[in-house]
Structure 1
Amino acid sequence: MGVLKLHAPGRYANLRRIQSLDPEVDHDEILRLTARHEFPWDYVQGTGIAFMRDYGIPSIADLLDRTREFEDHGVKRYDDTILIGDEATLDGIDSPRSHAALRRLNRIHGHYDITNEEFAYVLATTIVGPVRWIDAYGWRPLDPRELAAIATVTTRFGELMGIKGLPTTYDGYLALLVDTERKHFARTPAATRLAESSIRIAREVSPAPLRPLLRRVTIAVMDEPLREALGLPRQPRWFVHAVRGGLRLRGRMLRLAPPRRTAYVHRPLTYPHGHRLEDLGPLSMLDHLNSPHGKSAHA
């Protein structure tokens, strides 16, 4: 672990547990500890920024823009995306609960013409986004076992979606993402519309005191290629430094906090009294998705 900085008693207990596990066998447990105990807020923020990378690929942006799900049913779209991810991982990636969730996701995606390459890129963003965020702002570095476990779960998630030729390591997903963006990242009106819609969604689900500055803060944590692809305004350098410095300070301060006792679980605004798997998906598709004819898909 190197030289330990000042920290709360027991702060590294979960890390020691992770280091005792085998990522090939215990990947579900490692992911649970990392995403739901060690870095719950960071994981959510990194995933949120990651999803916005999808808009930088013109073919993906065009499809998402045409559905109008972000514009017309944004908070539901946000909640459903997180809840399907939760359903796929809370009991383990190869649990019956996970397989049911991924069958649901495959039925939703089956209504659209999406290429294998597009699916693979979107999947890559979901692992690279949180890892980059934690590298930049987390209270400790990720352990190699955590990276290996997250990659294993990500690849299995993709296999259950029917995606072919996936990497099996974090470095492989990073290379896939970088190569795809080098070839295809471009600014389009659809990307800007989706980005602004996503920021409005984030404002709706955030505590009221955070809403006035949320748009500027969101832009400030973006890397320049992403900001430019989304057509969002450059923020003053002092503001960017202040936002990123504040996030790094938060990470250092969290070393003094005790380890989280209970696992983080998303609380959806859309379903304040709980949800069923049958509730998840675009409103326009629900009748079909829940009919006998809409319930066949691998996973």
Structure 2
Amino acid sequence: MRFTGTHPTRMVQHEDGDLFDLYRRIVLFDFHQEIRAGFFLSYYRNFAIPSIARTLVGRGEMQARPMKRSYDTGIVIHEIIANGFDSDRGQQMVELLRRVHRGVPGTSEDFLYVLMTLLVLPLRWVDRHGWRKLTPREEQAAVAFYAELGARMGLAPAPATFADAEKFLDDYEARHMGPSPEGAQLLEATVAALKNRLPRPLHRFTGTVLALMMDKPEVALALGLKPSPAWLRIPFDTILRVRALRTRMQPLPASPSFVSGGPVSHYPDGYTLDMIGPHS
């Protein structure tokens, strides 16, 4: 076991053993807010790929129950992270992923891209806006988790390193990203999920905030968002930098950011696993 950190109130504990435990620590404790923001970005990223957007519109779940779909997506991945692949809850969530993707049109590259958004985008957000940089071992832990998730879902082998995962995602987007009527329709149907998470004074600027959060300007254009004014980038980045500095001076959380079955916005009284996923 080793410790790193620059402030005595925020020491970072690293286990030298299980990589999945280390990734769990990253998501539920050390970078829980940053990773959650990255997961949110990955949710929208798929709308910027016309073929994936058409598939999502064709299935109808996002338009019919946008808030449920948004929260369920986060719950599924957090249940697996929190409880492990071989737990009863983890196995049920992996089986749910296999079931809902069965028969969905798309190439193996398309499915692998969706998986890689969950790996790459949260780690990029941490790199840009986190209270410290991730270590190479932490990146390796994230890569190992999604390689295992992809294998259990029956997908093509995932990239073996984070650099390879970034290259795969960027190359795929260079070839496939673009605006589409379906992508704009999905954005319109689901933007309330972001609005619901923002402070009330920012509700009327939800589209602007979403555009500012994107790591590439072409993503906002593909989603049909208006490009954010260049001058807004400075205060936006400054606010996040100040938040990172303040977080750096605080103790690490003593409790996980996610509790299985606990209350969340869409399930204020908590949930059972049979409530998660599309209606049969």
Give the structure-1-normalised TM-score: 0.85
CA offsets 1:25-64 (integer angstroms, 9 cap, x no match): x112111211111111111111111222211211101111
CA contact (8 A) 2:151 2:157 kept: no
Q: Which has the higher contact order (CA 8 A, sep 6+)?
A: 1
Structure 2 counterpart of 1:122: 114
Partner of 1:88: 80
What is the match of residue 62 of structure 2?
A: 70
CA distance in 1, matches of 2:30, 2:205: 27
State the shift of 1:206 in Å: 4.1
Instruction: Work out the CA distance in 1 between the residues paired with 2:276 and 2:107.
Output: 23
Secondary structure of the structure 1 residue equivalent to 2:196: helix
State how far apart, in whole Å, the 2-side matches of 1:21 and 1:30 are: 8
Which shifted more, 213-222 or 78-87?
Answer: 213-222
Question: 1:104 is matched with which residue?
Answer: 96
How far did residue 67 of structure 1 move? Answer: 2.5
Q: Name the CA distance, whole Å, in 2 between partners of 1:217 and 1:248.
A: 16
1:237 maps onto 2:230 in alignment:
yes
Q: Residues 79-110 of structure 1: CA distance to partner in whole angstroms, max 9, x if unpaired?
A: 11111112212121233321221111111111
Residue type at the aligned position of 2:267: Y
Question: In 2, are the aligned partners of 1:61 and 1:191 still within 8 Å (CA)?
Answer: yes
Give the C-alpha shift of residue 242 in structure 1: 1.2
Give me the CA root mean square deviation.
2.0
Alpha-carbon displacement from aligned partner over 1:139-183 (angstroms, at most 9, x marks no partner): 000011110011101110111110013212212211110110111
Alpha-carbon distance in structure 2 between the residues aligned to 1:94 and 1:120:
22
- 2:188 match: 196
Question: For each residue in 1:14-35, what CA deviation from the matched residue of structure 2 results, as whole angstroms up to 9, or x when unmatched?
Answer: x2x21x413xxx1121112111
Give me the whole-angstrom Cα distance separating, in 2, the residues matched to 1:88 and 1:104. 11
2:269 is the counterpart of 1:273: yes
Task: Give every structure 1 segment of 4 or more consecutive aligned residues whose post-TM-superposition deviation is greater than 3 Å.
Answer: 205-210
Mapped partners of 1:264, 1:139: distance in 2? 17
Percent of aligned pairs sharing the same letter: 30
Taking the aligned partners of 1:149 and 1:177, their CA distance within structure 2 comes to 18
**CA distance in 2: counterparts of 1:4 and 1:156, whole angstroms:** 29
Q: Distance in 1 between matches of 2:247 and 2:136?
A: 21
| Structure 2: runs of 5+ lacking an equivalent | none
The match for 2:105 among 97, 113, 132 is: 113
1:256 and 2:255 matched: no
Letter paired with 1:252: L
2:155 counterpart of 1:163: yes
Indicate conservation of the 8 Å contact 1:221/1:240, yes or no. no
Counterpart contact for 1:75–1:205, Cα < 8 Å: no
Q: Measure the CA separation in 2 of the matches of 1:221 and 1:167.
A: 25
Equivalent residues of 1:28, 1:93 under 8 A apart: no
Moved more, 169-178 or 94-103: 94-103
With 144-153 and 203-212 compared, the bigger mean Cα shift is at 203-212
What TM-score, normalized by structure 2, do the two folds share? Answer: 0.91
- State the match for 2:126 in structure 1: 134
Deviations along 1:64-87, whole A, 9 cap, x unmatched? Answer: 122332222111001111111122
- 2:239 corresponds in structure 1 to 246
Match of 2:16 in 1: 21
Distance 2:149 2:159 in 1: 12
Q: Give the partner amino acid of 2:113.
A: Y
* Uncovered stretches (5+) of structure 1, i.e. residues with no partner: 286-299
